[in-house]
Amino acid sequence: MKLHPSRRLAHGLLLLYEDRDILVVDKPAGLLVFAKSEEVKRKLMGSWDEAVTLRRYTALAEGVMAENEGIIDAPLGEDRGGRMVVREDGVR
């Protein structure tokens, strides 16, 4: 296992993790996981389809919040800057 705490790639992307099966890259809108083989790709896609993959977002909010944390169930999409935002035409 190779960890890359500060390895920068093109366009400001950061290589977080790499092993013989996957490559994990940090980008402004979230993580990208690349499979290095068709077998690993099938396994990753299967876990995504079965909702085994946890998707968590940290958000900035305005105003007074009733709670310190919670769940926002709203459709998400990218804005012009590549940031994830709540959008009516987004995906849940």
In order of 2, 20, 49, 60, 82, the CA distances from 52 in angstroms are 24, 22, 8, 26, 25
Residue 66 has pLDDT above 50, yes or no: yes
The Cα 88–Cα 92 span in angstroms is 10
pLDDT digit string (tens) for 12-42? 778 888 899 999 888 776 788 899 999 999 8
Q: Give the residue from 28, 1, 8, 4 showing the smallest Cα distance to 16.
A: 4
Q: Which has more confidence, 71 or 25?
A: 25
